[in-house]
């Protein structure tokens, strides 16, 4: 990214905004595409019968109880969310219209399932039109090693900013320190894009990315004040937001001032 390039925008959870019922749905996806965003972000889980589907949380509600998505079949999931989007369907919709910001919510031994998911995205959309993010260090490394071996320019980033609420204090502190000082994790994971919660980005991760020449993806920017800050050219490469309409307006106003 050149310093004067506009910061790109990614519609979080397919652009659902604050409506949880619209998260990762076709209605939200169509709305985001209608706005003309650069990327559409969506969360990908793998069901117990090997199907890839869009859902944010790790669990679903079944008869008033939480059930892990990974332990549910596609049919069981569809019984609770009949309008669920499947991964391949979304790739086909996005191809040629917007780029895909794929947030993987699953992991597997050796990263086999993650690699298969990314390979399918490359097949449908092209390697240059996707960015892959995940909280799992080993998943990032598996995808990067595969893409390097295939000679593909896939961007894969280790997402910093996982929730630590409820964890033992020592574990929570260890995780936060590894995110505030991510050199060892990024080196081990081979990540080639920096991905961080906006607070961590302000507390030094953005500086880390600049020093190492890594593109910076910041999530999730929703207030107009924060959008003005992060949409300044050169400050980030890609910003994820729940309010792509507002973000596009802020970016357009900034561009107009620069042209004036």
Is 204 part of a structural domain of the chain? yes
Going by C-alpha positions, the residue among 117, 116, 189 that lies closest to residue 157 is: 189
pTM: 0.95
CATH number of the CATH domain containing 254: 3.20.20.190
Domain with 219 in it: 8-259
How many domains does one find in the chain?
A: 1
Would 2 be classed as within a structural domain?
Answer: no
The number of angstroms, rounded, from the C-alpha of 15 to the middle of its chain's C-alpha atoms is 12
pLDDT at 2: 53
Q: Which of 193, 222, 189 is CA-nearest to residue 206?
A: 193
Burial zone of 55 (CB within 10 Å; 0-12 exposed, 13-18 middle, 19+ buried): buried
What is the C-alpha separation between 57 and 6, in angstroms, rounded?
A: 31
> What per-residue confidence (pLDDT) applies to 3?
53
List average pLDDT for each run of 10 residues in the chain, which is 260 residues long: 80 89 92 97 97 93 85 90 93 98 97 98 98 98 98 98 92 96 97 98 96 97 96 96 96 86
Structure-token pair, residue 173: 């502190």
Whether the ω angle into residue 103 lies within 30 degrees of 0, i.e. cis, is no
- Is 213 within the bounds of a domain? yes
Provide the 8-state DSSP code for 153: -
219 part of a folded domain: yes
Residue 153 lies in a domain: yes
């Amino acid at each position: 990214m050149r310093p004067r390039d506009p910061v790109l925008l990614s519609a979080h959870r397919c652009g659902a905004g604050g409506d949880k019922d619209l998260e990762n749905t076709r209605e939200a996806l169509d709305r985001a595409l209608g706005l003309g965003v650069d990327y559409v972000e969506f969360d990908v889980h793998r069901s117990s019968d090997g199907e890839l589907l869009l859902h944010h949380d790790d669990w679903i509600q079944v008869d008033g109880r939480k059930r892990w998505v990974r332990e549910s079949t596609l049919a069981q999931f569809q019984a609770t969310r009949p309008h669920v989007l499947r991964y391949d369907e979304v790739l086909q919709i996005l191809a040629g219209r917007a780029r895909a910001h794929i947030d993987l919510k699953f992991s597997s031994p050796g990263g086999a399932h993650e690699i298969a998911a990314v390979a399918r995205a490359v097949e449908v959309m092209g390697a240059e039109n996707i960015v892959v993010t995940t909280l799992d260090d080993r998943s990032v490394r598996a995808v990067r090693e595969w893409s390097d071996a295939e000679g593909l320019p896939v961007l894969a980033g280790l997402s910093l900013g996982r929730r630590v609420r409820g964890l033992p204090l020592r574990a929570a502190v260890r995780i936060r320190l590894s995110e505030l000082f991510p050199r060892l994790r990024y080196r081990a994971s081979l990540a080639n894009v920096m991905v961080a919660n906006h607070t961590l980005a302000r507390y030094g991760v953005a500086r880390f990315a600049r020093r190492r020449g890594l593109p910076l993806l910041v999530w999730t920017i929703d207030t107009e004040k924060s959008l003005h800050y992060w949409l300044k050219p050169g400050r980030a490469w890609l910003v994820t937001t729940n309010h792509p309409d507002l973000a596009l307006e802020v970016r357009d106003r900034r561009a107009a001032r620069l042209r004036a």
